[in-house]
A and B are shown apart, each in its own frame.
Chain A
Amino acid sequence: MNTLVIVLSLLAGAYLVAVLEAWLATGRFRLAAPAWAAVALLGRESIVPRTPDRIFFETAPVLLLVVALLVSAVLPLSPGLIIADMTTGALFVNAVLAYVPVALLMAGWGPNGGYALVGGWRFLGQTIAYSMLIVMPITAVAMRAESLLTTAVVTSQGAVWNIVYQPLGFVLFFTAAMAVSFLPPFDLPTAGGELAGGVEAEYTGVRLGVFRLGRMVLVVSLAAVTTVFYLGGWMGPVLPPWAWSAIKILAVSSTMLLTGHYLPRIREAHLLAWCWKLGIPLALLNIFIVGVMVLIWP
């Protein structure tokens, strides 16, 4: 039952995020826009490129969707509303996210096209940039909770949320989460003005629909991870816990989309340089500060 509720919640969240994305793109708020877009995609011919690597080409969109759904398996939306409360939950999130670059590399290699190929390799470089900025802030979150259980991470924020307790970690994780979900300004693998869609460029019809759905679900899943790790998860006054989770997840997703709308795409070399020369030292500093604070003010 929990699985069904969480999967449906994710799909509903992905739909609302798609509405917001369409609103930002066109300037018109239309609640039915994603539904019409989906119908248009389903009605369109699903073209297969001339000489694809068929297994990679067919698997990549599905893999992206599966990865996005798996991330949410260990995230509690309210007490008891979780698919699997694993003792290694926080680590599981990181492990599952390692398959996002796999999906994108397959989507880049599979169609045997120039734009897709460059897009796939670009994401590999992007992975090298953001990976440590996912792992290291999660380490600091687990340090405070003294557990890798995601439910323990939420309850550890009873007195003060992690966004206040470790703001540096939040900024780093939020930025890295945008890079994982290749949202602007980190949309290097899709880059409309540079690669005409990149890893998406050779997909049409149902396959493109699945790919885009996977991306939207990934955005919502990462917003949920941010909520659980930094915004106190389901905690909040008056409203029921699930409502607080929904509000926070939508707020984080919207912030991710809005941030990208007002910034130009980052250069790949700069992304790598900033992540390694600035991001990783800051993440280490965050771990040190949290370590000291856990001793002084658990």
Chain B
Amino acid sequence: MNRSLVTRVAAHPWVLTLVLVALVWIVAGFTLRGFGSWGHLRYLLELSAVIGIVAAGQTLVVIAGGIDLSVGAVMTVSAILLPLLSPADDPTGLAGIGATLAIATGIGILNGAGAAYLRVPPIIMTLAMATFLQGLLIIVAGGSAVSVSNPAVIWLGSARPLGLPAGVILWILVSAATLYALHRTPFGARLMAIGANPIASRLSGLAVDRASVRLYSASGFLAGVAGILLLGMNRQGYAGIGDPYLLSSIAAVVLGGTSILGGRGTYAGTVPGAILLVTSTALITVVNASPGWRSIMFGSLILALLLVSGREARR
């Protein structure tokens, strides 16, 4: 009885992540003053939304056996370009959002084309893209911070329709779409197949190249959305604003039980993974340690969680 429960949990690593989040929230809620208040939990969810959205694209890429190391740079690009691309005479601000997302998607398409048609390994293609963007951005935007006046973006970062922050609602929508795409569409099935065995997929007549272009464009698009949301919450965009989200997105994916080797995983694990990451970072901040200790605790925490949940099956 007991054993079968353990076996079942082990078969779905993401359940473990969910349980862990619940446990941390309950324990911290009872021991730390103010942790369990609705305002604080809502704040944690809002922070998780940014990681969750960028990690949605990362989840898809990782499941297909790749990795996207350019998401941090794409977020920065979106956050800095949006104010520049928003025409002042547009009262809705949607034009600027559209243009920014088009650019983010375009960057993703370039990543995918490089990986698919030039056969550059994704880790190099996206790393080189990140380096490239980092330089280009400072040349274009001059390296100073820009403030946002786009009404739609400000609304996204501060409004609370139905009592929930708009960012969290956006995250719920993205989650639903990602889960649907991954588990209920041919596209999702193709990603799993490519991740499990790219050669077999190709030989089975699957258009692997086209799928990976679509895949990386989705990742670029979602990183763009996350960048815009981050800009809305921050009100300011600056070089390096997206940098921390690269590692967080990968950590959230892996904590959620998705195999970094591809072929196996679900976005249902990345969601609690992102919340777990934000919660533990918040707890570490509460401890009031020096930046050095904070970094050590963050790294050890990820490593410890990995030892518990992220172990690759023996082959």
Do the two chains belong together in a single complex? no
Residues of B participating in the A interface, judged by any CB pair closer than 8 Å: none
